[in-house]
Structure 1
C-alpha cells in the first residue's frame, strides 16, 4: 500500500446526491428487507426481526437510542472546535465482557425512536454546530439509520457521517453504506479469533474484521483532515488490553501491510476492569487490572515498527 499522506482537496459529503437520485431510499428499503431473515452482521442469526424476534443483538426492528449530544471526548479530528454530534445506539452485536458502556450495550438502556425522530436528532446536532454525525454502535440498526439519513438529508443535513463500530461488520451491509458514510471509525479489538470468542462472543472476529476494514478503506481511503477537522476516511481504534490479549502485533501488521501505513490509528490506553471482568476464571485474571505504562509503550513501539505514523496516541 502507498506510504503517502492523503492530499488535500475539497471534500463534500456524497450522500445528498444519493438522496436526490432516490438511491438512499432504495438502500434503506434493501436493508429493511434483510430484517425478516436477519444477516445484517456476521452473526447471521436468521431471525425475523420484523415480528419481534431477536438474535444476538437483542434488537427487533425498531430504532433504539440511548443518548445524543455534542461530544468532546472523541479523537481530535472529530471533535474539532464544536464537538462531534454523537448518537449512542442501544445494544450491540458484540458482548465484550469488559465493556465500559455496558448499561447501553448489554443492559439495553435506551428508548425507541422512529426514523423521523432520529432524523430530527441529526438535524438538531447539525444546528448546534457539530462537525459530524457520529453513529455509535450502528451495525445492528442500519436499516433505520439509512431511512433517517434519507429523511434528514431532505431537510438539509449536509455534515459528514461517522460510522463508529466495533469492527464486526458484514461486507454486504457495508456496501449499502457506500457513499453514505464519510468517515469509518472501526475498532480493531483482537488479533486472535480465540481471544475474540472468549472476550466478545465473536469466534470469527478477526476474519470478518479484516474483510470489513478492506471494504471500508475501499470506500473512503485514508483519513483526510482539513483545518483540523476530519472530512473523509478511516480512523482505526485499538484498545490495549492487559497481558497482550489484544494481539497488538498482529493488528498493526494487518493495518500496515493490508490497508495503509498512512492509516490514522488511535492506540488507546484507557482499559479498566468493568462489566463481567470480576467473574473471569483462570486464564484471564490479567483482565482484573489496568494496563501498565510498559504495555502501552510497547504497543506504540509495535505500531512504529510497522511504519505507522499518524496519531498513535
Structure 2
C-alpha cells in the first residue's frame, strides 16, 4: 500500500514551516486565492469568502456519489467546508457555499473529523471547497497524523487557485480534483464575478499536474495520486467544452482523467438568468463528450 506523501514531510519536520507560510498568506493581507482581498483574517477581518481564522465545516461523511476511483467500497471521506472563494450563482451546494453554515472548528476538532472518516474506512479524505481554508487544513493535519491519519488527501476545488498557495501543498495533497468551469471569461464574470478565471485555472492545473502527474490507480482501481479534472457541461456551451478539452489534452496531458459532468440543473440564483435556467440536453452532453474524444482524451468518466 502506497503511503501518502505528507507522512514523509511530517517525519522530516517540515509541516510546521508550511503552516507558517500558509498563515502568512492570510495575514496581514490575504492573498490566498486570486481574489486578493488583502484583509487580515487572523485579526478577524473577512473578504469574499467571509471566513476568518477558523474553517467552518458544514458536514462530513462517506460519499458514494463521487468518481469511481475515489469511492471504492467504503466511500470517499468528504468534508464540506462552508463558503467559497468563487461563489458561482448556480452552485448546486448554494446554501453551503454562499452561507457560513455548520460549525467553526479548531485544528484539533478538524483533525478529529479526519480521524472519524478514517475509522469509517473511507479510502481518502476529500476536502470539498478547501481553497479559502488551506492554512486551517494544514494546522489540523499534524494532530491528525499523530492520531493515525494515513489516507490520501483529495483537494476538491473550483479551479480558481493561486499557484503560490498550491506550491505549499506540494508533497501534501495526493489527488487534485479541480473544476474547469469556463473558457470564456465573459461567463465567469457574469456568474462568478471574476474576470480572469480561464487564466488562473490554466496556471493552477499546470501546477497541480506538475506536482502529482496523471491519475494513478492501484490494483483495485482506487486513485492513489494524480490529477482528476471535472468539467460541468452547461446550457448553450457556456462552459466552452471544446476549448477546455483541447487545453487539457494539449497543455496538461492526453492521459488526463476527465469527468464530463452532465448533471447541471438550475440551482441557487440560476432562475434569474434565462441562459442557464434549464437543464442541459442529451445533445449538449454528447457534444461535450465528443469534444473530449476529438481532443485526444480517452480517460473519461460521466455522471
TM-score higher than 0.5 here? yes
- CA distance, structure 2, for counterparts of residue 128 and residue 11 of structure 1: 19
In 2, are the aligned partners of 1:300 and 1:312 still within 8 Å (CA)?
no
Separation in 2, partners of 1:205, 1:286: 19
- The gaps in structure 2 that reach 5 residues or longer are none
Deviation at 1:27, TM superposition (A): 0.4
2:11 corresponds to 1:25: no
Determine the structure 1 residue equivalent to 2:124: 132
1:268 is the counterpart of 2:261: yes
The question of whether the paired residues in 2 share the 8 Å contact of 1:168 and 1:212 is answered with: yes
**Offset of residue 51 of structure 1:** 1.4
Q: Secondary structure at the match of 1:156?
A: coil
TM-score normalised according to structure 1 size: 0.94
5+ residue gaps, structure 1, are 1-9
Q: How many residues align?
A: 300
Larger mean CA deviation between 28-37 and 261-270 belongs to: 28-37
- 2:211 paired residue number: 219
Q: Secondary structure in 2 aligned to 1:97?
A: coil
The answer to whether the 8 A contact 2:254-2:297 is kept is yes
Looking at structure 1, the residues matched to 262 and 100 of structure 2 have their Cα atoms a distance apart, in angstroms, of 26
CA distance in 2, matches of 1:260, 1:54: 37
The DSSP-based 3-state class of the residue aligned with 2:25 is helix
Write out the 4+ residue segments of structure 1 that deviate beyond 2 Å after TM superposition: none
Among 237, 246, 258, the residue aligned to 1:253 = 246
What residue in structure 2 maps to residue 6 of structure 1? none
Aligned counterpart, 1:201: 193
Please give the secondary structure, in 1, of the residue aligned with 2:230. strand
Higher deviation after alignment, 102-111 or 204-213? 102-111
How many Å separate the matches in 1 of 2:166 and 2:110?
A: 20
Deviation at 1:17, TM superposition (A): 1.0
Instruction: Find out whether 1:303 has 2:295 as its counterpart.
Output: no
TM-score, normalised relative to structure 2:
0.97
Matched, 1:122 2:111: no
Does structure 1 residue 187 correspond to structure 2 residue 186? no
In 1, the alpha carbon distance for the partners of 2:94 and 2:15 equals 32
Question: Are positions 1:237 and 2:230 aligned together?
Answer: yes
CA RMSD of aligned residues (A): 0.9
Number of the residue aligned with 1:35: 26
State the Cα deviation string for residues 106-146 of structure 1 (Å, max 9, x = none).
02212100010011110111111000000000000000100
SS for the counterpart of 1:35 is coil
SS of the equivalent of 2:177 reads strand
Q: 2:281 aligns with which of 292, 304, 312?
A: 292
Match of 1:92, SS state, is: coil
Residue 81 of structure 2 contacts residue 129 of structure 2 at CA under 8 Å; is this kept in 1?
A: yes
**More contact order relative to length (CA 8 Å, sep ≥ 6):** 1
Distance 1:196 1:108 in 2: 23
